[in-house]
Chain A
């Protein structure tokens, strides 16, 4: 068991390091002059002052060999220092810390909705013996997947904010402002969850252990809850680790549609201004979230499936 945890942790650290290294290579080493990009971004169309260029190069260490730059930046990142924003001069870690809670609230709420909605569709469709209900429910996921996020967002705004003034259209004030963006973000994910879960639940219903349970006199509801759901959750769990990455990407779009402060706004501004330290900070934090979620998934696996980490330990 400890070996399993250590291997997973090692892999997580490796992914983080790779994300940092690749983003460094892409942003700093590509054949373009980062300093002039920064100056141009901060002051579009302005004249370039050679003294300013030299000063900036020295400040960011661009006059050093790439390997040295890399080592210095990596060392700083390890202590939590991701540099300062070129445009605002504020520390990148501060900017990220301000934006992150908003996005975290949005994505985790969306994840919760997606799990409930997708799980319910899958469970009811596999439990029900009515082919009509089953067919209707299973038609929903392809619909959910095929609708673009921004369009769902605009539709929901139109319906529940303008026609029926139930929720605020924009902003970050209170729980009400969270509902529409979270639902928008949750719909495509819930569709994917429903699809995968419904399929694995159907497979589980055909398994011989389900017949054993029915032969004990268990009701269909009991079999669905006690036997099918837990076995079917395993493949869906892997999907969840991947889906969280998409959720972050989707949050950028949704936050723009609903004009919410958060990662989305930060990324949009930083990219437009070619604010390299901020962009790299966002990439590293995104990788961190991804790694943490997948670590949690990997560690949840042995708890859900006794066949995984137990075998080497007890054999």
Chain B
């Protein structure tokens, strides 16, 4: 790739400020002097964790900073033309035509009450001065070009009638409709399943190479950056800490922050961790799920078989990873294990005793706990941390008031927060700290079994790595048994000694983690493993390992 004279995008010393509060004049700098280029035909990944300013930078480039944010310094040039300070009318001619945006969450980025075809046609109508009928016809062609089957029918449908992957294809079609010079993809696939993610990213690669558009990826996922970008720009606290060719930055990172990000990324650090050998089998398993099935009735009279004859057995001290994409039935399995819903057929045994009757359920409530996916929603915002952790103790009437207070402090120590956090409230904590509180709450009754439902999917990679390390330590120290549910195969590979792959409610493959990942027997498992991003990064991580050794 030779460097042309003018880059497609040239960002120089960009500074973006936000108002801290509407009424006050206090301001905070979210982006502090950022400079980078994107050349024609190039894909650049802007990488960082939440709060790094990567998303703000991208929004400044399209002039769509949220209310209270503004560019206070520096320049953004598109093909040499300055964008900072453009008037509303001029911006309207840039957006959609010269810069396309692929938004983050396809689930909510389309207008729910407007037909798909009209939403695609809108971008043509705004810029092209085409007639309504011609725009509708062209919209159908665009839907065809992004690989949607039966595009005529899709054009007449509404967003809720399409899957997430299909919606993201529609949004890519909108962003690329007018063959813009630059496409900004803001975490384009973080809300999608891995297999869908790969297909959508392939489509984006394919279309941008056809239109010759340059791509600016915004991502927290280093593996995606490794696979898709020619160059990587690493951001932290509003500044660029390192940038360069992907192989250079990821293969031989110079900045310690880049190194720590790489170490935390589960896809890229797999080799550094050896999963514990499976504990001895032979005694009664702690959890025995015996061919459970569960069907749900849909509105309109149809039923869907959410879980179909699933059997899972976890020995005491084991960590079983249940993997599947959305709709695979993995969360229903968790609910069945915890008796939050009862199976149509099959039984669940805890320590050899059925959990379906009243006595079994009482035992189950004490000996098993759930750690929920979203630490922002699972903690009552009005409670203090101490009250949150104390709640299961109080409802099971464990100990006196002072004994319980000591226990709360002890639990906070165990999750590496410390007793000082007892008086805080969830709103004052970061995502990782909240998830630690949730884990402390789950451990309060000294359970044997923890059901972990996507416990790290809402967290940044470095925080995710810390939580996974914490879970690993707790399991060894306290002889806990884990049922670990996740869509993220790389995470499961890190924590689980055995893995089950769930597809359309059926368990298509079960086995020791290494066997399933290295030598999958079922074609679906093979597709799933193949879709894990970061394959291109293997080369880099090898060099990284050599350089750090």
On A, residues with C-beta under 8 Å from B are 207-209, 211-220, 222, 226-227, 230-231, 304-307, 310-315
Contacts and interface: CB of A to CB of B under 8 A. Distances in A.
Nearest to A210: B111
Contacts of B431: none
Residue among A208, A222, A231, A312 with max Cβ neighbours from chain B (10 Å): A208
Nearest to A305: B113
Residue among A207, A213, A307, A311 with max Cβ neighbours from chain B (10 Å): A213
B242 to A, nearest CB: 29
Contacts of A305: 112-113
A315 B95 CA distance: 37
Given A213-B122, A307-B160, A312-B300, A219 B92 contact: yes
B174 interface: yes
Nearest to A219: B92
Contacts of A207: 108
A311 B299 contact: yes
Given A217-B96, A226-B122, A306-B158, 12 more contacts: A208-B103, A209-B108, A213-B122, A215-B100, A216-B95, A216-B122, A222-B126, A306-B160, A307-B160, A310-B158, A312-B299, A315-B298
A221 to B, nearest CB: 10
Interface string B427-458: 00000000000000000000000000000000
A296 to B, nearest CB: 19
Given A217-B93, A218-B122, A312-B299, A209 B109 contact: yes
A301 to B, nearest CB: 11
Contact of B111 (A209, A304, A311): A209
B114 A314 contact: no
Nearest to B99: A215
Contacts, number: 91
A216 B123 contact: yes
B539 interface: no
22 contacts: A209-B108, A211-B101, A211-B103, A211-B109, A212-B174, A213-B111, A213-B122, A215-B96, A215-B101, A215-B175, A216-B95, A217-B95, A218-B96, A218-B122, A226-B122, A227-B114, A306-B158, A307-B158, A311-B160, A314-B161, A315-B298, A315-B299
A32 B331 CA distance: 63
Nearest to B301: A312
A212 B126 contact: no
Contacts of B108: 207-209
Contacts of B99: 215
Contacts of A211: 64, 101, 103, 109
Nearest to B299: A312
B79 to A, nearest CB: 17
B302 interface: yes
B96 A231 contact: no
A214 B67 CA distance: 14
Given A209-B109, A305-B113, A315-B300, A216 B160 contact: no
A3 to B, nearest CB: 10
B92 A217 contact: yes
Interface string B59-95: 0001010000000000000000000000010001111
Nearest to A230: B113
B64 A214 contact: yes
A216 B64 contact: no
A125 to B, nearest CB: 14
A209 B158 CA distance: 13
Contacts of B95: 214-217
B117 to A, nearest CB: 13
Contacts of A310: 158, 161
Contact of B123 (A217, A219, A315): A217
Interface pairs A-B: 3 shortest CB-CB: A217-B96, A215-B101, A216-B96
A311 B93 CA distance: 38
Given A212-B103, A215-B103, A218-B126, A227 B111 contact: yes
A207 B113 CA distance: 13
A313 B301 CA distance: 10
A216 B178 CA distance: 10
B420 to A, nearest CB: 36
